[in-house]
Structure 1
Amino acid sequence: MMGSLTLGASIIGLMVVGGMTASMIDINIPLKIGTGENAVTVQNIFDDIVPQILSLGAFGVVFYLLKKEVKALTILLGLAIFGIFGSWVGFF
């Protein structure tokens, strides 16, 4: 009885974290494929497959790095540098 209650609480907790990830992380890729009226953004392609999949991927990468015991400060600095570089290049 206690095991199934714990399993249910774990599933609900993971659903809440997934919902928070989708609503709090916003990644947009303005790169276009094609020319003229037929141009499609990469973001639309990913959103057609699964909405907010890039946000989930970013969360997965950070979670993986934390599981590999990479320091949180190193991850934050890496994300900041990646964001600044991506904005400088025009990726974001």
Structure 2
Amino acid sequence: MSWSKVSHKKYGEDLEADILDLVERLKSKRYKAMDIRRVCMPKADGGKRQLGILILEDKIVQKAVSKILSAPPVSFVVINTIFRIKHFAVGYFFKKEAVI
């Protein structure tokens, strides 16, 4: 995939349509993250630091997923049992605990 350059201003010109298109591509599983553009920045000691630059839509998707995954834990009560979502850096799992 090639790297695409779209400014915040240009994306915002028709923001609602662009976001609806992005959501539709996510729902239909047609969305693909673009390759990260690599840029080398000089460091004070003469070395180089690699930076990865994402396209705007990738940033939007990452922020949305981050908000969903970092939401407060939700508890589900099911017949004398509580299923609580526990958050770890690697993902979520259900933990079964007895109700007191």
* TM-score (norm. length: structure 1): 0.28
Structure number with greater CO (CA < 8 Å, separation at least 6) is 1
Structure number with bigger Rg = 2
- Structure with greater strand share of residues: 2
